[in-house]
A and B are shown apart, each in its own frame.
Chain A
């Protein structure tokens, strides 16, 4: 079946602009995660959605970052007033959401964001 998909695959924007990144999780997966992979910070957690529960936003680096998940499926990560330090690869992952630490998270190919 289809894996996690993300769009766009690449995004170049100017400093100060807003961007939206999209994630389509694996069908049936109730848990969805956003991570960021950057040269200086490695791979870091941003936000986690589980079913209809309030999201875990503990990893969002500033209030310019927000995410939503509509209908328990597709998620959009929005970065407002982008800064050059936001340049990174943004990764989405999903899992069955059993709340079990053993379960596997499946990652999408990522969106490479470059802020000029």
Chain B
């Protein structure tokens, strides 16, 4: 079956530091890949997505590249801010035949200190 593995947190950083959150996946087909973010007290929001190999998703200074050869979708940001403190979830979704559900990783809590 499908699965997503992401690095466990919490990850604590200083403002303006470089952030990487590793994500690898297992899928039977060719999934679309997503990063969702959950800010304190808020619901899940889509951060970025990539739908085929070598695509790069980007938003709010975050980037992630769909790497089929390493089955990875690592999230990066060059200079984090305190407002980036949140829980980040990597997820995948496959074709309808395999179900339309999102399969999530366990989430990585990121804390950015001023």
Contacts and interface: CB of A to CB of B under 8 A. Distances in A.
Between A42, A50, A101, the greatest number of chain B beta carbons within 10 A of the residue's beta carbon is seen for: A101
A-B pairs, top 9 by smallest CB distance, nearest first, are A45-B101, A43-B104, A107-B44, A109-B43, A101-B32, A99-B96, A102-B51, A42-B106, A101-B93
B43 A110 contact: yes
Nearest to B50: A102
Q: What's the interface size class on B, roughly? A: 20 to 34
Contacts of A105: 46, 102
Interface string B91-114: 101111001111111110000000
B93 A108 contact: no
Given A42-B107, A43-B89, A107-B44, A102 B32 contact: yes
A16 interface: no
Contacts of A108: 43
Contact of B102 (A45, A56, A99, A109): A45
The binding surface of chain A is classed by DSSP as strand
A48 interface: yes
A59 interface: yes
Contacts of A101: 31-32, 51, 93-96, 100
A65 interface: no
Interface of A: 4, 31, 33, 35, 42-45, 48, 50, 56, 58-59, 91, 93, 99, 101-102, 104-110
Contacts of B103: 45
B43 A56 contact: no
A107 B43 contact: yes
Nearest to A4: B43
